Amino acid sequence: MEQFLITPAMGKRLIAKALANYEPVKEIFKSGTLVIIAGTTNGYVAEEILSHLGQVEGFSRKRFFRGVVLPPSQPRTEDGRLPDETGFPGDVVIVNGKWKKGLTIFDVVDDLKEGDIIFKGANALDVNKRKAAIYIGHPQGGTILASLEAVVGRRTRLILPVGLEKRVNTDLDELALKINSPGAQGPRLLPVLGEVFTEIEAISSLTGVTVQMVAAGGVAGAEGSIWLLVNGKPQEIEDAHKLITSVSEEPEFSI
């Protein structure tokens, strides 16, 4: 067994690398539609997938989000948006392995079918129940409600790339009832059923090890970090060591 410290940026990169090599995703490149909804973690996912497809030119993670969580000292609107969103590039829509630039989930949701894939980031994670929830700032429910039209209506596959830094220890349905009640302030919260994909799934799928979170926290750039315990055969642990070392210098996300 071996322990590894994973910063939030490292975690985002690990999740992205794993999803770019995830078998259902590789299959969708041959025939089908993949929608990567803009978000900070999904920016890494889009970057890795477009690199894998040889189509990363013209893509930037810099403004690949709608709402974003910033320190209180940084200006943003009440629903988490930047005061100036002129640099927003849209979502990443890949059809039969080709990036259709300039499209969003709203442009293609009516055409999504069974077996197509949507990636949507999350803001809260119940690790034990494998369930995630999404902050809602838009009065019509934003991108997740648009996505659920296809997920519930046509069995489009929903994958939720989310870092373990977003874990909470209260039932997400209970939280949503409180936050969404009349008179409450701030963003709303929507628990959703989908395939949760964290650093644990990322490292496990790429190396074969079993992974368990054992501690968290840090300072001087390690804020929000997690400690993971990996267990497996000697070669699997060596592979995990190489994988995590390969992302150890991932810089923190900046806008």
Look up residue 186 and give its two tokens.
């701030």
Q: Does residue 108 register a pLDDT over 70?
A: yes
- Per residue in 137-195, pLDDT tens? 888 889 999 999 999 999 999 999 999 999 999 999 999 999 999 999 989 999 999 99
Q: Does residue 90 register a pLDDT over 80?
A: yes
Quote the pLDDT of residue 82: 62
What letter does residue 99 receive in the DSSP assignment?
E
Of 166, 173, 127, nearest to 8 by C-alpha is 166
Whole-number average pLDDT of the chain: 93
Q: Does residue 205 register a pLDDT over 90?
A: yes
What is the set of domains in the chain, with CATH numbers?
A: 9-69+78-199 (3.40.50)
Q: Does residue 85 register a pLDDT over 80?
A: no
Q: How far is residue 182 CA from its own chain's centroid?
A: 29
The answer to whether 138 and 97 have CB atoms below 8 angstroms apart is no
The answer to whether 12 and 41 have CB atoms below 8 angstroms apart is yes
Quote the pLDDT of residue 89: 87
**Tell me, what amino acid is at 112?**
L
Q: Does residue 93 register a pLDDT over 80?
A: yes
Distance CA 168, CA 171 (A): 8
Distance CA 9, CA 49 (A): 17
Whether the CA torsion 191, 202, 99, 61 is positive or negative: it is: positive
Q: Does residue 124 register a pLDDT over 70?
A: yes
Residue range 3-17: mean pLDDT, rounded: 97
Which residue would you say has higher pLDDT here, 135 or 80?
Answer: 135
Quote the pLDDT of residue 188: 95
Of 159, 234, 240, 248, nearest to 205 by C-alpha is 240
**Tell me, what amino acid is at 58?**
G
The percentage of residues in the chain with a pLDDT greater than 70, rounded to a whole number, is 94
The answer to whether 139 and 100 have CB atoms below 8 angstroms apart is no
Q: Does residue 71 register a pLDDT over 80?
A: no
Look up residue 195 and give its two tokens.
């395939």
